[in-house]
Structure 1
Amino acid sequence: MSLRATRAEIDIPNLYSNLAFFRGRLSPGVRLCLAVKGNAYGHGLVGLSLWAQPRVDTFAVATVDEAAALRSGGIHKPILLLSPHSREEIPRILALDLEPFVSHNDFLADYQHAAEKHGRSLRLHLKVDTGMNRAGVWYDEALPLARQIANGKSLELFGLCTHFASAYASDMIARADTENQLRRFQAILRQLHREGISVPCVHAANSAATLHYPAAHFDMVRIGIGAYGYCDGTGELRPVLSLKTKIGLIKRVPSGAKVSYGGTWQAKRDSVLALLPIGYADGYSRQLSNRGQVWLDGALYPVVGRVCMDQTMIDVSDHPHPATLSEKDVQLIGPEPNAEFIAEQTGTISYEVLTSIGQRVPRIYLE
């Protein structure tokens, strides 16, 4: 185990609570897929997945390399490959027993050849674009591709899926867009049924849609940010990750002293500063310079000066006993301040805050 003062603590009871919360929204038999792409949203790809494996039915990744790490790390459950991949990766997809999303017919012959070489069929999930206008075959062109896959030798049309663009938003326009996407997707399902094409696993809902659009649950839901404690419209989810470090140095500076690169913060009084051994190379954004806040002894203290690659300064002048703070724990992300608060300060979203936490930050899993 790493002895570094800076670490990300992963609260497994909170993870299980969040998964149970979503599971409780589902009808019996509806499967729960956990998205662990992006290093499990910053929580540690293999470590988090091993803890989650008994509580979920399927995992989802963005890259073949992510899937390979899961397989070598002990994950044996089905793995969806969400994002486009190269032709050269198809043999690994078969070897790792992955289920790729398909948006076109360019690779069908290659899939078939690789499947025949491995002596088994390959499960494919047809991705339908119902309005996201990103990956996926356009909804009114999906039926011919579905037929081609269903009739393909050594290929199985195992899944039909789409992705909602605005399910997280509650305004009338966003709701209308989501409902329109859902109607288009349901129309494709009816077409397949009329053609006698059976699809064992129909899935559309992300975290927000699972909460707000029960009609989109189908056979499986794909949970991402909600599992990690963040999702608009609920107060029942608990943040799973806390980014922490320990104070490395207490430093007194006189009134007028300028701090860190460029002297962008100047003490208005004699001040007590604390040096934190964490910086933007660890994923603590440089945009938090002179605006971030950290949690220490039950209160928030401001970041002062520019956040550096490996170090950050905070002003602890208002702490009742600043001289005693050496090696004290400081929380930079957690319940206080949480990733959504950090995102508001830096003009981004909680997803980016969490996935930006660097690889050199050890993940510690707490039961």
Structure 2
Amino acid sequence: MAHPSMAHAGATLTIDLAAIRDNHRQLKEIAGGAVCAAVIKADAYGLGASRVAPALEDAGCDTFFVAHIGEAIALRPHLNPTTRVIVLHGPPPGTGPDFVAHDIRPVLSSREQIQAWSRLATRLGRPLDAMLQVDTGMSRLGLAPDDVIGLADQPGMLDGIRVCGVMSHLACADDPQHPANAEQHSRFVEALRLLPPAPACLSASSGIFLGADFHFDMVRPGAALYGIAPVPGRANPMSPVVRLQARIIQTRTVPAGAAVGYGYTHRTTSPRRIATVSVGYADGYLRALSGTGCAHIGDVRLPVIGRVSMDTITLDASDVDEHHLQPGASVELIGPKTSVDDVARSAGTIGYEILTSIGNRYHRVYAH
């Protein structure tokens, strides 16, 4: 879907590609000698994989992870032929030939996926690359401990498969003190001992900050690339990536006791100036921000009052000079005064949801 022009959109989303490249360089430096891949699933967390991936490629990234084969096929034309594209969910039944045709590698997480990939390699008469995923305690995706032992006892199950990596996923990496981190690390090391020698990858964004023991041969940051704080409660070392500026549609002054928005959930206690802004939950500005979110004009905070609607929010603009509130003037919903993580806290969620909820009605500007 094409994004609207500035004149036709209710808001402008600015995406700083230079900041994404800087974040990748910083994460690569922290990871030491490990390869620093990039997770660009969900359209690069809502920011546009076809623009983000080439920018990261320019910064030296040559390995990208997505969730689905459809994402990988759409991404492939935007990358160099030698760049690796890896699908975290592996090959759905019947899609193996699509992986081969587009030079895409799957992550194999079950005996069934391994058997199907081995059969395809046999049919084609050549080895096929794949990563293996082991479950080290998250109980989501990956080979169970018994499956890993089974592979060690029956190495023929991997006939035709060139294992190009072994990975797992940390459940509690955003809490450095959580005992699960050490437990999963230990289980991962044990699995590596049983599986064919291959580059190991355990850590995503937060795991990188757990220290060198968690880096292994490859790290695969996602959220941190896009400016989300990798360790909640600590100062965010990542550069901010997005700025969202929304247009004022109309401003009005209402008396004390006036109701605002659906359900009359807000009533004014004194005369207030209300600015209605052209962004709502259809644009990814979550309904949970009703009465908790805010915008800024310069240094002045404008709280969201009343419910977030599908296409609009209402702001208390009483502290702003009227000449800043003309129709078409902008307020800042995400930016220097209110980060993605700030918005997430106000909504009772995480920055990942804020970014991946971003809609298609914004005019988009990519800063290089």
TM-score (norm 2): 0.90
Tell me the CA shift for residue 8 of structure 1: 1.8
| Alpha-carbon distance between aligned partners in 2 of 1:25 and 1:46, rounded to the nearest angstrom | 26
Instruction: Give SS of 2:200's match.
Output: strand
In structure 1, the partner of 2:361 is 360
Local SS of the residue matching 2:361? coil
Aligned residues: 358
In the alignment, structure 1 residue 20 sits paired with structure 2 residue 25: yes
Q: Structure 2 vs 1, CA of residues 339 and 26 (structure 1 numbering), >3 Å: closer, same or farther?
A: same
Q: Which residue of 1 aligns with 2:193?
A: 190
Instruction: Identify the match of residue 97 of structure 1 among 98, 103, 118.
Output: 103
2:254 aligned partner: 253
CA contact (8 A) 1:149 1:156 kept: no
Aligned twin of 2:343: 342
Query: Counterpart in 2 of 1:237?
Result: 238
Question: Cα gap change, 1:148/1:156 in structure 2, threshold over 3 Å: closer, same or farther?
Answer: farther
1:134 to 140, 150, 172: 140
How well do the aligned residues superpose, as a CA RMSD in angstroms?
2.2
1:150 CA displacement? 6.7
**Maintained 8 Å contact 1:126/1:146:** no
Report the counterpart of residue 299 of structure 2 in structure 1: 298
User: Are residues 85 and 109 of structure 1, via their aligned partners in 2, closer, same or farther at CA, if it must alter by over 3 Å?
Assistant: closer
Aligned to 1:278: 279
Could you tell me how far 1:146 is from its partner in structure 2? 5.8
Residues 44, 363 of structure 1: 8 Å contact kept: no
TM-score, normalising length: structure 1: 0.90
Q: CA deviation at 1:184?
A: 1.5
Q: More displaced, 12-21 or 249-258?
A: 249-258
Using the TM superposition, give the Cα deviation of residue 341 of structure 1 relative to its aligned residue in structure 2, in angstroms.
1.7
Q: Output the CA distance in 1 between the equivalents of 2:243 and 2:153.
A: 47
Deviation at 1:103?
1.7
SS at match of 2:111: coil
Q: How does 1:163-174 map to 2 (within 5 A)?
A: 163-171=169-177, 174=178
Superposed displacement of residue 47, structure 1: 1.6
Q: Which runs of 5+ in 1 are unaligned?
A: none
Structure 1, 324-333 or 16-25: larger mean CA deviation: 324-333
| Identity of matched residues, % | 32
Whole-angstrom CA distance in 1 between matches of 2:296 and 2:366: 21
1:65 to 58, 66, 70: 70
Superposed displacement of residue 136, structure 1: 0.7
1:36 aligns with 2:40: yes
Give the one of 162, 183, 187 matched to 2:168: 162
Deviation for aligned residue 1:5: 3.5
Deviation, 1:118, is: 5.5
Which residue identity lines up with residue 121 of structure 1 in the other structure? Answer: P
SS of 1:306's partner is coil
Deviations 1:206-233 (A, max 9, x none): 1111112311211110101111112114
For residue 78 of structure 1, what is the aligned residue in structure 2? Answer: 84
Residue 234 and residue 139 in structure 1: after superposition, are their counterparts in 2 closer, same or farther (change >3 A)? Answer: farther
Secondary structure of the equivalent of 1:129? coil
What is the CA deviation profile of residues 99-157 of structure 1, one whole-angstrom value per residue up to 9, with x for unaligned ones? 21112221334323444565643211111111111111123531433675776443211
